A and B are shown apart, each in its own frame.
Chain A
Amino acid sequence: MPEPLQSIVIVGGDECAPAVAACIANSLRGTSAKITLLDDMSGHSGVASTLPQSTDFYKLLGFNERSLVTGTGATFKMGAEHSGWLRNNRRFIQSFGEHGTPIRLLPFHQYVLKHQLADDAKNFDDYSLASAAILKGRFAYPSDDPNSLLSTIRYGLQVDTQRFADAMLKYAVAADVKHIGSSAISASVQADSGFIAAVTLADGTAIEGDFYIDCSGERALLIGDALSVGYQNWSAFLPCDRRVRISINDVQDLSPTTRIVTKRDGWSRRMQLIDRADFEFFYNGAICSDEDAAQQLTQDVGTSASLPEHRQIRAGRRESFWRGNCVAIGRSAGDIESLEVSAMSRAHGAVIRLMSLWPHINCDPVIASEYNRLTLLDYDHARDFVSLFYTLSDRDDSDFWKHCQSLQTSATLQYRLSLFRSRGRLSWDADEIFSKDNWVSALLGLNCLPRACDPLVDVADPELVSQFMDEVRQAVRAAVDDMPRHDAFLKDLHGPAPR
């Protein structure tokens, strides 16, 4: 029987590193494995949002989500509001909730489509409690009671990445992770096995382990520099390769949502934390200069903003994520512009997967190949989801949007689109990160109307269906008014004297 791993080294730099350390430490609690995190804890500043799936991650950690929220100034998020993707400047909501319920086994959106195709503009958003909550600035925890509309909502968080990383570090250290506050600068490889032998710190100290996690961010110190695993470039699918961020001390608008607006040279998003708001602008560096980008962003925001902070986005992913005794998680593994495809949740999902496939000291390649197969799907799904927006956008009013018109659509996305365009049916696999409703609300929001709806909608009595749809809409309206305001909810959570 092969030996268990005894010493795990996490090479930090990426904001996900402390969370990765915390999760591994928690899963191996009680064993003799030693875990070391190399991270100077600088450069984690920023904002991030998570998808509802991250709840599983906190659970796995035994992490109390409430103290995570109060301890890091996070806010809740029930989805995103989009505007400007189409020339007609239509707005839509992409909520984490369900929309209506199936009628006679057919998905609810088919009945909405039937009306839309008949030019009776029924709005998909009207049938989702989460969407209504976003519009009205409300929040409540989902209910377990399937009869309650509150069971149809889900949520993620908007977090300050530095504070989140600090909280994870604290948790990791309490779980016996050894934290070394400096970063690795190089790594050496064993000639025969191709395994990582050691990493070296700036002061020359060598740290050895038998398993390495490369959370070094875009530097990709191990998976890229040391192991030379190739990187698949996705600039043919995704246009943005730069991002600029500014913060303002605004606590005015605490709705549980991320706001996404397109601009002449890209798109921006606003994320509200408990004590500030962050604005980010995603653009293409060949079309728009950094100064220009910062200006397009500050224009909306007004004064008293922080200095703009730029970063590069290398759209793409590694050819593989696990090679030998090294697994890449975070931006060393791949990078996709953050259009609602949370890199943080992807990292959380990656550690959960890694733990479920946790290897022995020999790091059997069969396990690595299964990990790679599954992780690759995650990245490809995320790419397709972002690419959907550019594929369906009809804007061509600037060099940026003209460039977007010339982008490619992957074969997998094309397949999905052609099925949807036929009869509004979704090709969807049970292990995808984005729910069916996520896909449908994006497709409908971006005005992708099928040639016809499902013929089986005609089986149900149209009167009864209309009546039922009205009832759902009214129930949503009534239920949203019973939900607390998001700001009040947060205030309660923080207690009488917030932080």
Chain B
Amino acid sequence: MRDQNLQDIVIVGGGTAGWMTAAMLSQVLDGQMGRIRLIESDQIGTVGVGEATIPTIQAFNKKLGIDEAEFMRATNATFKLGIEFVNWGRMGDAYLHPFGPYGKDINGVAFHHYWRRSLELGMDTPIGAYSLANVAAKRDRFRHPSSESQSILSTYAYAYHFDASQYASYLRQYAERRGVNRTEGKIVDVTLRPDDGFIESVQLDGGRKVRGDLFIDCSGFRGLLIEEALETGYEDWSHWLPCDRAVAVPSENVVDPSPYTRATAGDAGWQWRIPLQHRMGNGHVYCSSHLSDDEATATALAHLEGDAIAEPRVLRFTTGQRKQMWNRNCIAIGLSGGFLEPLESTSIWLIQAAIALLLQRFPDRNFDAADIEDYNRGMRRRFEEVRDFLILHYKATQRSDTDFWKDCANMSIPDSLQRRIEMFGKSGHVIFHPAELFIETNWLAIYLGQHILPETCDPRVHCAGDDFIRQRLPQMQAVVAAAADEMPSHASAIEQFCRAKAPHA
């Protein structure tokens, strides 16, 4: 079988997707299976955004054996305990989607049912007060979680905000050290094999041809191979997620970076605020049929806290996914595979998931149809899950101050999401699958943060009795508050652990 093994793997594109793929393949293949080549064009450049992550990134870095402090210094990274959503359910709202659960199960019944009952008993503490990640984030505090499962400090996870270009260069060094061959050049043509339509080679500006057995398309939105060459087709989801543009503009930091991302809903979209060590990442995601580029840019600039440090840049996209992520001998990873707006910082996770699944369905030159089908099925499932989670943010709104929000509140949504919302509204039960990215807390954060309050709680909360609830909940809240207060500030945690050497690198 060995003679069927891949000999040449060609990665097209050197953005976050390309270098993450190159780094992981170089680590796992360990020089034992073919050559890995990455082609990127200085002329074209990368999308250059993509700065907020979710906790799963840690598993990726860990697999690569990356030293956390070194990586954080190299990418001007900060810690992230969640995402704050402002003005989503109603104008004036603010809630946090924390990276850690609310309270603790009692007698096998999830905490939020007791919390739901507490409202009927006249208690009014918001659910966030029972999540350490939530409370610590809002108090600008951070420390590394504990691995001691009995400790309250084990009840949260964290992610990073980092400079995407610096992350890509960091991974580039990593990959090049492990033998990945980087080629600079612009691809101008793609040759398909006449018999089966597989990609045979790509041709660089200047005439050089690079052949390969497997091509990984990390060329960004355009999908140089998967679409321009293979015409795979794209499934458009903009009827559910109508935003189609973004304007990005970084600014000077004027306050210490907070340990969470903020997403503030506007008239026809939302603005992100991602605090890094050396600057603030800002941007405005909007729907072009409701807002012009100029209006959107003006809004983005008006909300900057410090001076802009680059010209605003407008990006266009269509939310959706490639009909097949893996077509013949080409796999689309990153923006070439599909796009879901960065509301929950999931794009880098989707890159990570694609790489992991590729390693579980790794081909040889036979390219078995069953493996390809299973890969495509797996990636579709992941994209659809994220899609549904994002739609929830738009659907669960009571805003009616603009046509955009009225349309969102009235849109029809996928059945899978409809079922989840109804179930929660009726019973407080959160539907999720154990293999999914978003589990109980994640769905709860959005439901409760955007006013989907269950009609009732699990009847089993009555086993404990109301007095128990009156006593226990304030105690739990106090424990969380005390633990948060004992943490160092986020700024000092960074100072101690991972202050970047040249802040303006």
Contacts and interface: CB of A to CB of B under 8 A. Distances in A.
B463 A30 contact: yes
A27 B460 contact: yes
A359 B359 contact: no
Interface string B350-388: 000000000111111010111100100000000000000
Contacts of B459: 4-5, 28, 31, 358-360
Contacts of A427: 374
Nearest to A419: B370
Interface string A295-335: 00000000000000000000000000000000000000000
Interface string A34-75: 000000000000000000000000001000000000000000
A367 B430 CA distance: 11
A429 interface: yes
B362 A370 contact: no
B363 A458 contact: no
Nearest to B31: A459
A430 B437 CA distance: 12
Contacts of A27: 108, 460, 463
Contact of A452 (B6, B28, B364): B364
Contacts of A459: 28-30, 32-33
A355 interface: yes
B458 interface: yes
A368 to B, nearest CB: 11
Contacts of A423: 368, 371
Interface in A183-239: none
Nearest to A455: B364
Nearest to A359: B427
Contact of B460 (A358, A369, A418, A458): A358
A425 interface: yes
Contacts of A425: 360-361, 371, 374
B371 A419 contact: yes
Interface string A1-36: 110110000000000000000000001111100000
A358 B30 CA distance: 51
Interface in B334-364: 359-364
Contacts of A454: 362
Using C-beta atoms within 8 Å of the partner chain, give the interface range for chain B.
35 or more
B482 interface: no
Interface residues of A, number: 43
A421 interface: yes
Nearest to B433: A431
A456 interface: yes
Contacts of A2: 455-456
A357 interface: yes
B374 A1 contact: no
Given A105-B28, A455-B4, A459-B30, A4 B429 contact: no
Interface string B297-324: 0000000000000000000000000000
B435 A429 contact: yes
B82 to A, nearest CB: 25
Contact of B370 (A357, A364, A422, A430): A422
A430 B434 contact: yes
A367 B1 contact: no
Nearest to A367: B427
Interface in A402-433: 418-419, 421-423, 425, 427, 429-431
User: Which of A4, A429, A430 has its CB near the most chain B CB atoms (within 10 A)?
Assistant: A4
B5 interface: yes
A421 B370 contact: yes
B429 A370 contact: yes
User: Which of B30, B426, B434 has its CB near the most chain A CB atoms (within 10 A)?
Assistant: B426
Contact of B419 (A370, A453, A456): A370
User: Which of B5, B6, B460 has its CB near the most chain A CB atoms (within 10 A)?
Assistant: B460
Contact of A364 (B28, B419, B427, B465): B427
Interface in B1-47: 1-2, 4-6, 28-30, 32-33
A423 B465 CA distance: 55
B2 A458 contact: yes
Contacts of B33: 455-456, 458-459
A356 interface: yes
B370 A367 contact: no
Given A30-B463, A425-B360, A459-B29, A356 B455 contact: no
A366 interface: yes
Contacts of A456: 28-29, 33, 359, 362
Contacts of A60: 108
A1 B361 CA distance: 49
A134 B325 CA distance: 45
Contacts of B366: 452
Contacts of B32: 458-460
Contacts of A31: 459-460, 462-463
A108 to B, nearest CB: 14
A30 B1 contact: no
Contacts of B360: 425
Contacts of A430: 433-435
A366 B5 contact: no
B31 to A, nearest CB: 9
A104 interface: yes
Given A5-B459, A358-B460, A422-B370, A367 B359 contact: no
Interface in A425-462: 425, 427, 429-431, 451-456, 458-460
B431 interface: yes
B423 to A, nearest CB: 5
A277 to B, nearest CB: 37
B463 A1 contact: no
Given A366-B422, A367-B426, A419-B370, A452 B362 contact: no
Contacts of B28: 104-105, 456, 459
Contact of B423 (A117, A355, A367, A431): A367
A202 B366 CA distance: 68
User: Which of B29, B429, B465 has its CB near the most chain A CB atoms (within 10 A)?
Assistant: B429
A369 B419 CA distance: 9
B117 to A, nearest CB: 10
A28 B460 contact: yes
Given A105-B359, A459-B30, A459-B32, A358 B364 contact: no
Nearest to A33: B459
Given A360-B459, A458-B33, A366 B370 contact: no
B120 interface: yes
B192 interface: no
Interface string B275-292: 000000000000000000
Interface in B457-494: 458-460, 462-465
A429 B381 CA distance: 12
B29 A30 contact: no
Interface string A450-488: 011111101110000000000000000000000000000
Q: Across chains A and B, which 8 residue pairs bring their CB atoms closest together, nearest first?
A: A30-B463, A430-B435, A422-B370, A430-B434, A422-B368, A4-B459, A459-B32, A455-B364
5 contacts: A4-B459, A358-B459, A370-B423, A425-B371, A452-B366
Interface of A: 1-2, 4-5, 27-31, 60, 104-105, 117, 355-360, 364, 366-367, 369-370, 418-419, 421-423, 425, 427, 429-431, 451-456, 458-460
Given A30-B462, A425-B361, A427-B374, 20 more contacts: A1-B120, A2-B455, A2-B456, A4-B462, A28-B463, A60-B108, A105-B359, A357-B429, A358-B458, A358-B460, A359-B459, A360-B459, A364-B427, A366-B422, A369-B419, A423-B368, A429-B435, A455-B362, A455-B363, A459-B33
